[in-house]
C-alpha cells in the first residue's frame, strides 16, 4: 500500500493537538438517566462527542427523551437509531424510527446517522429542510467482509450522491490487508474534501480505528469501558488517548507494530509507545493480527509502515519477506525484527530473541558469582519448541558452549534444528523421562501455558527436579505454571519478561536510531 504523506520530521509536539479527528463515545444504556450519567463519564474521559444509541433504550418517548438528552449533554451529540437489519437493536416500524431521527435534527442534535438504505425515505420526509447546525451522516455497515476498492469507491459515491454531509462506511476485516482499501478510500475522500468516517470492524481492523487521524478520517469510536462496544474491535478512549497518543498522530506519523497470531496479549505497544512518547518520537506502535505475513508486507509496502516486531508463528516466514537479512538471523532461520529502509522501502530483518533470552539465562545462572566464561559452557540446554524462538535460543546456547537438545511435538522438526546446530532431538512426549544428568537448563519457547490456557505446561513437575534453571518465553502470565512448579522443585527461574525487555532494546534502537530507555522499559514491563 503506497500512500503519500508529508515528511515533517520525526519530533512530536507534546501536549498540542496535531489532528482534527474526533473521538466519539457510543452510549448504550437501558434508560435516559443511565445515558445522562454516561455522558458525564464520556466528557471526563476526553471524548469529543457522544453517539446516543436510541435503539438501546428499553422505553422511549421521542420528544421528551430527545429534548432531555440534548439539553443535558455536556458534549456535541450524534443520534443513531439503528435497526436490526443494519446491526442495531430497533425492531419497530420504519416511519417511527425516521420520525425520531428527524425530531432529533429539529431539536438541536449536532449529527444524526441515517442508513444508506433509508436515506431516500428520510429525505422525502424532511422535504428538503435541514437545520444548518445538524450534519447528516449517511452510513453503510457490512458485517460480512470488506468489498473491493472499486466497490468501495462506488459505495462512497452513492452515499455522497444521497446528500450526505458526512460519509460513513464500516466493513469487516477477514484479513488485515482489507484495511488498506479503506485507508485508500479515506485518503481519496480527504483529497476531494468530503468528510468520511471509515472503519474496519474486528480485531484485524484495529489499525483502521487507531490510524484514522493519519489518513484524514472525520472521527473514530472509542468505548468508555473495555468490552462494552457498539461494534466489534473498538478500542477504549483511554487506550486511544494514552496508549496510542491519538491526538498526536498526523500524516507524517510512522507506523510500527507487533505481527503475530495471536497478538492481543502482547505488551509491546505499551512498551514502545511509552518510549516514543518519552522522547517525542513521531511514531505509533500497534497490535497487528496477521494471518499471511507475505501478503501483509506486499500490501503495506509504504515507508510509512516503518518497523515491526515479529512473534509466533511468523518468524520464519517473515525472514523470506526480507530484502536483506542479518547474518545471525540467517543462521537461525528466523527474524523477530524488521525495519523498512526509508530511502528505498527495502525490508531488513534481524533476530534479537537470542540476545535477550541468553543474557537473561546467563544472569540467572551467574547470580553474584563471577565466571571467566559463559555459565552456559558445557551445560545441557534443553529447548522446547522448534519455531523461530526455539531456533534462536538453540543457536544462542550453542554459541555459548552449551550442549543443545531440541524437544518438539513433531520429532522430525526437532531433528532438523538439532542437525543445524549440532545437537540432539527429542519428541516432546519423551521429555518427562529424559534426565541423563542433573543441573540441566530448560527453555520453553512455545505458547504452552500462555493466557488463556494458564493450566497447561510442557513438562511434568516431577521431571523439573533435574533442572538447575527453567526459562519460559511466555510472559502472560508472568509466572506460568511451568515456572511456578520449577520454583517448587528448587530451580532458579527466568521469566519471559526478561527476554521481552532484552530483545526490545535493540529493536527500539533499530526503529528510532536512539538509545533504548532501559530503565523505562523495565519499569513498564514490571
| DSSP-H helix ranges across 146-211 | 149-161, 178-191, 206-210
Q: Give, for 487, the enclosing helix (H) or strand (E).
A: helix 481-488
Selected catalytic residue, list 135, 168, 214, 379 = 168
Q: DSSP E strands: which ranges in 290-402?
A: 305-310, 324-325, 337-340, 347-350, 380-384
Is 168 a residue of the active site? Answer: yes
Q: Cβ(256)–Cβ(303) under 8 Å?
A: no
Is 315 a known active-site residue?
yes
Is 360:503 a contact under the CB 8 Å cutoff?
no
Nearest to 366 by CA among 356, 357, 376: 376
The yes-or-no answer on residue 265 being catalytic is: no
Collapsing DSSP to helix, strand or coil, 470 comes out as strand
The strand pairing partners of 172, in sequence order, are 201
DSSP letter (8 states) at residue 52 = E
What Rg value do the Cα atoms of the chain yield, rounded? 27
Sequence-ordered list of residues with C-beta below 8 angstroms from that of 483, at least 6 positions apart, any chain: 470, 472, 493, 495
Q: Please give the Cα distance from 382 to 93 (Å, whole number).
A: 67
Q: Is 292 strand, coil or helix?
A: coil
Identified catalytic residue from 48, 113, 135, 141? 141
* β-bridge partners, 411: none
Residues 6 or more apart in contact with residue 275 via CB below 8 angstroms: 281, 508, 516, 517, 520, 521
Query: DSSP characters for 230-269?
Result: SSTTPPBHHIIIIIS-GGG--TT-EEEEEEESS-TT--HH
- For the packed helices 268-279 and 496-512, what is the interaxial angle rounded to 10 degrees? 40
To the query of whether residue 353 is one of the catalytic residues in this protein, the response is yes
Task: List the catalytic residue out of 214, 315, 354, 466.
Answer: 315
Are residues 75 and 98 in contact, defined by beta-carbon separation less than 8 angstroms? no
CA distances, 178 to each of 83, 139, 251, 259 (Å): 26, 19, 20, 16
Q: Return the bridge partners of 426, or none.
A: 407
**Overall residue count recorded for the chain in this entry:** 526
3-state secondary structure of 51: strand
Nearest to 268 by CA among 214, 310, 326, 223: 310
Q: Residues 55, 65, 353, 472: which is the catalytic one? A: 353
Could you give the residue numbers annotated as active site? 141, 168, 315, 353
Amino acid at each position: 500500500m503506497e500512500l503519500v504523506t508529508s515528511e515533517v520530521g520525526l519530533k512530536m509536539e507534546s501536549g498540542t493537538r496535531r489532528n482534527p479527528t474526533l473521538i466519539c463515545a457510543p452510549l448504550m444504556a437501558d434508560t435516559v438517566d443511565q445515558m445522562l450519567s454516561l455522558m458525564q463519564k464520556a466528557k471526563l474521559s476526553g471524548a469529543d462527542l457522544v453517539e446516543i444509541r436510541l435503539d438501546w433504550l428499553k422505553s422511549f418517548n421521542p420528544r421528551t427523551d430527545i429534548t432531555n438528552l440534548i439539553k443535558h449533554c455536556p458534549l456535541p451529540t450524534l443520534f443513531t437509531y439503528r435497526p436490526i437489519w443494519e446491526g442495531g437493536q430497533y425492531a419497530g416500524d420504519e416511519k417511527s424510527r425516521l420520525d425520531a431521527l428527524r425530531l432529533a435534527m429539529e431539536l438541536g442534535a449536532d449529527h444524526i446517522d441515517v442508513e444508506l438504505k433509508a436515506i431516500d425515505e428520510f429525505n422525502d420526509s424532511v422535504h428538503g429542510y435541514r437545520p444548518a447546525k445538524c450534519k447528516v451522516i449517511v452510513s453503510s455497515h457490512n458485517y460480512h467482509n470488506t468489498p473491493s476498492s472499486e466497490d468501495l469507491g462506488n459505495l462512497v459515491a452513492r452515499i455522497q450522491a444521497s446528500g450526505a454531509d458526512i460519509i460513513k462506511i464500516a466493513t469487516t476485516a477477514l484479513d488485515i490487508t482489507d484495511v488498506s482499501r479503506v485507508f485508500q478510500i479515506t485518503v481519496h475522500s480527504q483529497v476531494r474534501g468530503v468528510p468520511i468516517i471509515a472503519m474496519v470492524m474486528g480485531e484485524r481492523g484495529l489499525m483502521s480505528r487507531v490510524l484514522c487521524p493519519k489518513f484524514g478520517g472525520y472521527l473514530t469510536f472509542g468505548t468508555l469501558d473495555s468490552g462494552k462496544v457498539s461494534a466489534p474491535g473498538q478500542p477504549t478512549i483511554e487506550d486511544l488517548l494514552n496508549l496510542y497518543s491519538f491526538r498526536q498522530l498526523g500524516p507524517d506519523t510512522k507506523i510500527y507494530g507487533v505481527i503475530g497470531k495471536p497478538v492481543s496479549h502482547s505488551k509491546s505497544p505499551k512498551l514502545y509507545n511509552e518510549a516514543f512518547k518519552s522522547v517525542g518520537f513521531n511514531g505509533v506502535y500497534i497490535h497487528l493480527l496477521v494471518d499471511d505475513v507475505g501478503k501483509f508486507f506486499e500490501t503495506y509496502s509504504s515507508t510509512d509502515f516503518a518497523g515491526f516486531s515479529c512473534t509466533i508463528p511468523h518468524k520464519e516466514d517473515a525472514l523470506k519477506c526480507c530484502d536483506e537479512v542479518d547474518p545471525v538471523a540467517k543462521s537461525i532461520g528466523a527474524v523477530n525484527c524488521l525495519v523498512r529502509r526509508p530511502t528505498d522501502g527495502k525490508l531488513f530483518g534481524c533476530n534479537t530473541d537470542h540476545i535477550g533470552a541468553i543474557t537473561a539465562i546467563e544472569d540467572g545462572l551467574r547470580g553474584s558469582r563471577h565466571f571467566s566464561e559463559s555459565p552456559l559452557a558445557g551445560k545441557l540446554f534443553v529447548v522446547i519448541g522448534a519455531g523461530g524462538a526455539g531456533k534462536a535460543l538453540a543457536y544462542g546456547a550453542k554459541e555459548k558452549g552449551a550442549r543443545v537438545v531440541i524437544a518438539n511435538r513433531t520429532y522430525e522438526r526437532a531433528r532438523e534444528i538439532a542437525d543445524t546446530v549440532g545437537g540432539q532431538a527429542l519428541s516432546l512426549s519423551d521429555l518427562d523421562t529424559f534426565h541423563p544428568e542433573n543441573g540441566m537448563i530448560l527453555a520453553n519457547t512455545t505458547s504452552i501455558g500462555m493466557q488463556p490456557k494458564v493450566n497447561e505446561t510442557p513438562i511434568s513437575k516431577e521431571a523439573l527436579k533435574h533442572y538447575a534453571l527453567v526459562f519460559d518465553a511466555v510472559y502472560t502470565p508472568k509466572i506460568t505454571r511451568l515456572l511456578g512448579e520449577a520454583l517448587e522443585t528448587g530451580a532458579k527461574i527466568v521469566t519471559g519478561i526478561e527476554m521481552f525487555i532484552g530483545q526490545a532494546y535493540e529493536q527500539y534502537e533499530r526503529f528510532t536510531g536512539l538509545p533504548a530507555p532501559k530503565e523505562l522499559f523495565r519499569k513498564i514491563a514490571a
